Chains A and B, each alone.
Chain A
Amino acid sequence: DVKVTQSSRYLVKRTGEKVFLECVQDMDHENMFWYRQDPGLGLRLIYFSYDVKMKEKGDIPEGYSVSREKKERFSLILESASTNQTSMYLCASRPGQGVWRIYFGEGSWLTVV
Protein backbone atom coordinates (compact mmCIF):
# COMPACT_ATOMS: atom_id res chain seq x y z
CA ASP A 1 0.00 0.00 0.00
CA VAL A 2 1.10 3.53 -0.70
CA LYS A 3 2.75 5.32 2.18
CA VAL A 4 3.95 8.84 2.82
CA THR A 5 5.51 9.10 6.25
CA GLN A 6 6.18 12.30 8.12
CA SER A 7 8.64 11.66 10.88
CA SER A 8 7.10 13.89 13.54
CA ARG A 9 3.41 14.32 14.22
CA TYR A 10 3.72 16.97 16.90
CA LEU A 11 6.61 19.34 17.55
CA VAL A 12 7.12 22.29 19.83
CA LYS A 13 10.10 24.50 19.01
CA ARG A 14 11.43 27.80 20.26
CA THR A 15 11.67 30.97 18.23
CA GLY A 16 14.96 31.07 16.36
CA GLU A 17 15.52 27.31 16.36
CA LYS A 18 16.35 25.47 13.17
CA VAL A 19 13.63 22.95 12.46
CA PHE A 20 13.71 19.92 10.18
CA LEU A 21 10.54 18.23 8.97
CA GLU A 22 11.20 14.94 7.25
CA CYS A 23 9.05 13.16 4.71
CA VAL A 24 9.64 9.75 3.17
CA GLN A 25 7.67 7.96 0.47
CA ASP A 26 8.09 4.34 -0.46
CA MET A 27 6.52 4.43 -3.93
CA ASP A 28 9.41 5.63 -6.09
CA HIS A 29 7.47 8.81 -6.85
CA GLU A 30 9.06 11.56 -8.90
CA ASN A 31 7.23 14.52 -7.40
CA MET A 32 7.05 15.59 -3.78
CA PHE A 33 5.40 18.59 -2.14
CA TRP A 34 5.30 20.53 1.08
CA TYR A 35 2.17 22.44 2.04
CA ARG A 36 1.09 24.25 5.13
CA GLN A 37 -2.56 24.22 6.15
CA ASP A 38 -4.10 27.05 8.12
CA PRO A 39 -7.77 27.71 8.92
CA GLY A 40 -9.38 29.89 6.30
CA LEU A 41 -6.33 29.71 4.03
CA GLY A 42 -6.50 26.11 2.89
CA LEU A 43 -3.36 24.34 1.76
CA ARG A 44 -0.64 26.64 0.52
CA LEU A 45 2.26 25.28 -1.48
CA ILE A 46 5.66 26.01 0.08
CA TYR A 47 8.01 24.07 -2.20
CA PHE A 48 7.83 21.13 -4.54
CA SER A 49 10.36 18.86 -6.14
CA TYR A 50 9.92 17.14 -9.47
CA ASP A 51 13.09 15.05 -9.23
CA VAL A 52 16.09 14.34 -7.04
CA LYS A 53 18.02 17.54 -6.23
CA MET A 54 15.43 19.59 -8.13
CA LYS A 55 13.18 22.04 -6.33
CA GLU A 56 10.76 24.80 -7.19
CA LYS A 57 9.33 27.53 -5.02
CA GLY A 58 5.65 27.47 -4.35
CA ASP A 59 3.54 30.39 -3.22
CA ILE A 60 5.02 30.94 0.27
CA PRO A 61 8.69 29.89 0.26
CA GLU A 62 9.94 32.71 2.49
CA GLY A 63 11.47 31.43 5.68
CA TYR A 64 11.71 27.86 4.36
CA SER A 65 14.16 25.78 2.40
CA VAL A 66 14.03 22.18 1.20
CA SER A 67 16.37 19.33 0.44
CA ARG A 68 15.94 16.30 -1.78
CA GLU A 69 19.15 14.33 -1.88
CA LYS A 70 17.41 11.00 -2.39
CA LYS A 71 14.28 10.24 -4.35
CA GLU A 72 12.32 8.95 -1.40
CA ARG A 73 13.05 11.78 1.03
CA PHE A 74 11.98 15.43 0.94
CA SER A 75 12.93 17.60 3.88
CA LEU A 76 11.49 20.96 4.84
CA ILE A 77 13.79 23.25 6.81
CA LEU A 78 12.86 26.27 8.84
CA GLU A 79 16.16 28.10 9.17
CA SER A 80 15.04 30.24 12.10
CA ALA A 81 11.59 29.34 13.33
CA SER A 82 9.13 32.13 14.05
CA THR A 83 5.75 32.11 15.73
CA ASN A 84 3.98 32.79 12.43
CA GLN A 85 5.25 29.44 11.21
CA THR A 86 3.07 27.65 13.74
CA SER A 87 0.92 25.47 11.50
CA MET A 88 0.08 22.03 10.20
CA TYR A 89 2.59 20.90 7.57
CA LEU A 90 1.56 18.34 4.98
CA CYS A 91 3.91 16.39 2.77
CA ALA A 92 2.61 14.80 -0.43
CA SER A 93 3.92 12.83 -3.37
CA ARG A 94 2.74 11.76 -6.80
CA PRO A 95 4.18 9.36 -9.34
CA GLY A 96 5.13 11.92 -11.96
CA GLN A 97 4.22 13.39 -15.30
CA GLY A 98 0.84 12.25 -16.53
CA VAL A 99 -0.25 10.59 -13.29
CA TRP A 100 -2.31 12.87 -11.10
CA ARG A 101 -2.93 10.75 -8.05
CA ILE A 102 -1.45 12.56 -5.06
CA TYR A 103 -0.77 10.91 -1.71
CA PHE A 104 -0.62 12.84 1.55
CA GLY A 105 1.21 12.17 4.76
CA GLU A 106 -0.59 12.44 8.08
CA GLY A 107 0.73 15.91 8.74
CA SER A 108 3.08 17.49 11.27
CA TRP A 109 1.71 19.92 13.80
CA LEU A 110 4.41 22.49 14.54
CA THR A 111 4.07 24.98 17.37
CA VAL A 112 6.71 27.70 17.66
CA VAL A 113 6.80 29.39 21.05
Chain B
Amino acid sequence: AQSVTQPDIHITVSEGASLELRCNYSYGATPYLFWYVQSPGQGLQLLLKYFSGDTLVQGIKGFEAEFKRSQSSFNLRKPSVHWSDAAEYFCAVGGNNNDMRFGAGTRLTVKP
Protein backbone atom coordinates (compact mmCIF):
# COMPACT_ATOMS: atom_id res chain seq x y z
CA ALA B 1 0.00 0.00 0.00
CA GLN B 2 1.03 3.57 -0.50
CA SER B 3 2.45 5.63 2.37
CA VAL B 4 3.29 9.24 3.16
CA THR B 5 6.09 10.77 5.22
CA GLN B 6 6.07 14.33 6.48
CA PRO B 7 9.54 14.78 7.96
CA ASP B 8 8.78 17.95 9.90
CA ILE B 9 6.52 17.62 12.91
CA HIS B 10 6.53 21.33 13.73
CA ILE B 11 7.68 24.40 11.79
CA THR B 12 7.78 28.00 12.93
CA VAL B 13 8.01 30.86 10.45
CA SER B 14 7.67 34.60 10.75
CA GLU B 15 4.69 36.31 9.23
CA GLY B 16 5.54 37.41 5.71
CA ALA B 17 8.26 34.80 5.30
CA SER B 18 8.11 32.03 2.74
CA LEU B 19 7.04 28.53 3.65
CA GLU B 20 7.82 25.06 2.40
CA LEU B 21 6.34 21.93 3.95
CA ARG B 22 7.84 18.65 2.87
CA CYS B 23 6.01 15.52 1.82
CA ASN B 24 7.46 12.27 0.50
CA TYR B 25 5.34 9.41 -0.71
CA SER B 26 5.87 5.76 -1.47
CA TYR B 27 3.81 4.19 -4.24
CA GLY B 28 4.61 1.98 -7.20
CA ALA B 29 2.34 3.68 -9.69
CA THR B 30 1.41 7.28 -10.42
CA PRO B 31 -0.06 8.61 -7.20
CA TYR B 32 -2.95 10.92 -6.55
CA LEU B 33 -1.55 13.55 -4.17
CA PHE B 34 -3.29 15.98 -1.86
CA TRP B 35 -2.63 18.63 0.75
CA TYR B 36 -5.17 19.32 3.49
CA VAL B 37 -5.20 21.91 6.24
CA GLN B 38 -6.83 21.57 9.63
CA SER B 39 -7.27 24.55 11.93
CA PRO B 40 -7.75 23.90 15.64
CA GLY B 41 -11.10 22.32 16.33
CA GLN B 42 -12.00 22.29 12.65
CA GLY B 43 -12.33 19.67 9.97
CA LEU B 44 -9.93 19.04 7.12
CA GLN B 45 -10.01 21.41 4.17
CA LEU B 46 -8.55 20.49 0.80
CA LEU B 47 -5.85 22.94 -0.31
CA LEU B 48 -4.87 21.38 -3.62
CA LYS B 49 -4.47 18.12 -5.47
CA TYR B 50 -2.34 16.56 -8.20
CA PHE B 51 -3.47 13.84 -10.55
CA SER B 52 -1.47 14.33 -13.74
CA GLY B 53 -0.23 16.97 -16.12
CA ASP B 54 1.50 20.14 -14.97
CA THR B 55 3.64 19.23 -11.99
CA LEU B 56 3.15 22.63 -10.35
CA VAL B 57 -0.38 22.91 -8.98
CA GLN B 58 -2.09 25.93 -7.55
CA GLY B 59 -4.46 25.74 -4.65
CA ILE B 60 -6.57 27.91 -2.44
CA LYS B 61 -5.26 30.56 -0.02
CA GLY B 62 -2.18 31.23 -2.16
CA PHE B 63 -0.66 27.76 -1.74
CA GLU B 64 1.07 25.77 -4.44
CA ALA B 65 2.76 22.39 -4.57
CA GLU B 66 5.21 20.76 -6.92
CA PHE B 67 5.21 17.08 -7.81
CA LYS B 68 8.70 15.67 -8.35
CA ARG B 69 8.57 12.06 -9.43
CA SER B 70 12.35 11.60 -9.23
CA GLN B 71 12.30 12.59 -5.57
CA SER B 72 8.90 11.07 -4.72
CA SER B 73 7.98 14.41 -3.26
CA PHE B 74 5.04 16.78 -3.25
CA ASN B 75 6.14 19.80 -1.24
CA LEU B 76 3.74 22.58 -0.32
CA ARG B 77 4.85 26.20 -0.66
CA LYS B 78 3.59 29.68 0.01
CA PRO B 79 5.59 32.82 -0.80
CA SER B 80 4.35 34.91 2.14
CA VAL B 81 2.74 33.39 5.22
CA HIS B 82 -0.12 35.07 7.05
CA TRP B 83 -0.92 34.61 10.74
CA SER B 84 -4.15 32.87 9.73
CA ASP B 85 -2.12 30.10 8.09
CA ALA B 86 -1.21 28.70 11.50
CA ALA B 87 -2.70 25.21 11.46
CA GLU B 88 -1.82 21.58 10.91
CA TYR B 89 -1.09 20.46 7.37
CA PHE B 90 -1.53 16.94 6.08
CA CYS B 91 -0.21 15.42 2.89
CA ALA B 92 -2.18 12.47 1.52
CA VAL B 93 -1.82 9.94 -1.28
CA GLY B 94 -4.52 7.98 -3.06
CA GLY B 95 -3.96 4.73 -4.85
CA ASN B 96 -5.63 2.65 -7.54
CA ASN B 97 -7.24 0.42 -4.91
CA ASN B 98 -9.45 3.34 -3.86
CA ASP B 99 -7.85 3.94 -0.48
CA MET B 100 -6.22 7.10 0.81
CA ARG B 101 -3.34 7.45 3.24
CA PHE B 102 -2.35 10.52 5.22
CA GLY B 103 0.92 11.66 6.68
CA ALA B 104 1.45 12.40 10.36
CA GLY B 105 1.03 16.12 9.76
CA THR B 106 3.14 19.25 10.17
CA ARG B 107 2.07 21.84 12.68
CA LEU B 108 2.76 25.38 11.50
CA THR B 109 3.28 28.22 13.96
CA VAL B 110 3.43 31.77 12.62
CA LYS B 111 5.42 34.35 14.61
CA PRO B 112 4.28 37.98 14.49
Interface set of A (CB-CB < 8 Å, partner B): 30-31, 33, 35, 40-45, 48, 50, 56, 58-59, 92, 94, 96-97, 100-102, 104, 106-107
Contact = CB atoms under 8 A, between A and B. Distances in A.
B49 A59 contact: no
A45 B104 contact: no
B98 A42 contact: no
A102 B100 contact: yes
B101 interface: yes
Given A43-B90, A59-B1, A104 B43 contact: yes
A54 B43 CA distance: 27
Contacts of A43: 90, 92, 102
Given A42-B104, A94-B100, 11 more contacts: A30-B98, A33-B100, A42-B90, A43-B90, A45-B100, A56-B97, A58-B99, A94-B98, A96-B98, A101-B46, A102-B100
Contacts of A40: 9, 104-105
